Amino acid sequence: MNNTFNARRFGFLFRKTLLERPVQIFGLTGLILTIILMIYFICKVFFGFGPAQNISFIWGLAGGGCFLGSFMFSYFNSNASGSSYLTLPASVFEKWLSAILIAGILYPLLFLLFFRAMDAGFVALYHRGLDATSPLYKIRYDQVYLFSYTGQIAQKVYLIFFMFTGAALTGSLYFNKNNFIKTALVFCVVCVLAFGLNWLMAVMVFGEVRDAAPFHYVEVTVGTGEGEINLPQSAFDIYGIFGDYFFPVLLWSIPFIRLREKEF
Amino acid sequence: MIQIQHLSFGYNKKKLLYKDLTLTLQSGSIYGLLGKNGAGKSTLLKNLVGLLFPKGGSIEVNGFDPRKRQPSFLETIYLIPEEVYVPALTINGYQRLFSPFYPGFDSAKFTSYLEQLDVKDEGKLNTLSFGQQKKFIIAFALACNTKVLLLDEPTNGLDIPSKMRFRKLISGIFTEDRMIFISTHQIRDLDNLIDRVIIVDEGELLLHASVGMIAEKLCFKTVNEIRDPADILYKEESLRGISVVIENKHGEESKVNLEHLFNAVTENPEKAKAIFQTRKNS
């Protein structure tokens, strides 16, 4: 018997994962998509299409993925369900893969399809509502367009999604109860520490600092003038590799190691 | 077969629950693991199934290392914890999702066990009473036909008729190639069920013997007066006289009273160990 991966057994596990807690998985996904629809609509009314698309895309993909990710290993909030999960005859790899498949592949795919349909619907409604005889028709028509999945914002959101969801998956295996809240708190503490330490170091090196972002730039005041010191490109590239690849891969790999070593 | 070699385990590094425990358990027996609250009974079961990892020493269950939690190992062992978990599924739904993981699962037997334990299909499992949920899990675990069955306080939450049905069922399903390991502090529930007794206290193995050997080495009887208090391992006054546990020096025949045995062994651990020659390597 293959103790690492068996397609038939993985099929059973995947089916069990989806159908054992349908309210949590399907209900939560449905709720997230409904909330995103509402956010899009409200933001469109108050701020216009651009902010509506950006805000709902960020919250839907990164926020929703992160929230769903925190449920993937939420068996450990009781002794009975935790024991049942860990002693279920499936390999650690299969259990990890099952969670990754749902939170990291199926949910984003479903969200992207939903978002495209929702966005296309609202944009089409807007275009249809325009007066085609108006001299401003062309300008107004071109003002609103579909959100680009390959644009700069989308690419940043993909990265945030991978970081946040990976952190949520990892956190759910370290915190048995209220894992989402505890992981979010740890994340906030790490961010505050990173910015705080960066600021402290910038002040120590440059004196008067107006603004500073870790691994990015420092704005300093020199006499009556102001200037921005950026991280050298070569150093920024190294940071980019860590931020774009190393940390997300690390955050999605830790759950596998943690699941293998988890005692309960 | 389960082989525990020099097991050390503790939740706290400074205070170990088990120190250098060595124990060999054979298939074809129903073991009763007895101990006080907090003695480490559940901890030992969790170590056997791979939920907890030994701090020192090793455990081997039918040739597998439990801490690896390999599927080929997990499908040969089933742990029924004290608190059971049932999702919001019907009996059929649960069977459909969980039984494929156990190659030996027998659907007909599952139905029969449910009937014997008086578990009715009444909607979602999570809406059943705790006792019903527990009986459902017991029926499912037995139907999985695993080589090793670990039961942690199985009779907790069961009413009196259910306890009786449980005992009947366990003795009915027992075969020579299976090992059943029952941990409990409700000693009376194991009467006439187990054939080997293990008593642990403060991380130490105090007794590991068959019921037959216990009856051979100890005498359980009721007397009117105690002549030689030095021989007494345990005494308890009752309406009929004084129930005592003494060393069986004259080959008397008596029925083993598990409750009295437990008290005798935990109150006189050194004496009990001397009688049964319980060593660290048992």
Residue A91 lies in a domain: yes
Closest CA to B255 of B212, B226, B209: B212
Closest CA of chain A from B121, distance in Å: 18
Please check the confidence at residue B282 and state whether its pLDDT lies above 90.
no
Question: What residues contact A222, with CB distance under 8 A and at least 6 apart?
Answer: A208
Kindly state whether residues B242 and B261 are assigned to the same domain: yes
Question: What residues contact A57, with CB distance under 8 A and at least 6 apart?
Answer: A115, A147, A153, A154, A157
Residue A242 lies in a domain: no
Q: What is the CATH number of the domain that holds B160?
A: 3.40.50.300
Kindly state whether residues B192 and B128 are assigned to the same domain: yes
Residue A88 lies in a domain: yes
More confident residue, A185 or A205: A185
Using a CB-CB cut-off of 8 Å, the residues of chain A touching B100 are 12
Please check the confidence at residue B281 and state whether its pLDDT lies above 70.
no
Kindly state whether residues B66 and B119 are assigned to the same domain: yes
Residues 203-232 of B with CB under 8 A from A: none
Q: What is the pLDDT of residue B192?
A: 83
The whole domain housing A168 covers 7-177
Residue A217 lies in a domain: no
How sure is the predictor about B278, in pLDDT bands with cuts at 50, 70 and 90? low
Kindly state whether residues B149 and B251 are assigned to the same domain: no
Question: What residues contact A151, with CB distance under 8 A and at least 6 apart?
Answer: none
Closest CA to A251 of A94, A85, A70: A70
B137 touches chain A (CB under 8 A): no
Using a CB-CB cut-off of 8 Å, the residues of chain A touching B72 are 1, 3, 89
The whole domain housing B185 covers 2-202
Handedness of CA A203, A205, A207, A211 (dihedral sign): negative
Residue A247 lies in a domain: no
Residue A152 lies in a domain: yes
Q: What is the pLDDT of residue B39?
A: 85
Of B68, B75, B89, nearest to A89 by CB-CB distance is B75
Residues 12-71 of A with CB under 8 A from B: 12-13, 15-16, 19-21, 23
Residue type, A39: I
Using a CB-CB cut-off of 8 Å, the residues of chain A touching B152 are none
B52 touches chain A (CB under 8 A): yes
Among B202, B221, B245, which residue terminates a domain?
B202
Question: What residues contact A77, with CB distance under 8 A and at least 6 apart?
Answer: A176, A177
pTM of the model: 0.90
Please check the confidence at residue B279 and state whether its pLDDT lies above 60.
no
Among B202, B221, B236, which residue terminates a domain?
B202
Kindly state whether residues B246 and B266 are assigned to the same domain: yes
* A263/B97 Cβ within 8 A: no
Kindly state whether residues B156 and B253 are assigned to the same domain: no
Residue A235 lies in a domain: no
Using a CB-CB cut-off of 8 Å, the residues of chain B touching A91 are 70-71
Please check the confidence at residue A222 and state whether its pLDDT lies above 90.
no
Kindly state whether residues B18 and B37 are assigned to the same domain: yes
Give the number of domains in chain B.
2
Over range B102-114, report the average pLDDT: 96
Among B202, B229, B253, which residue terminates a domain?
B202
Q: Please report the ipTM that was assigned to this predicted complex.
A: 0.90
Q: What is the pLDDT of residue B183?
A: 94
Give the number of domains in chain A.
1
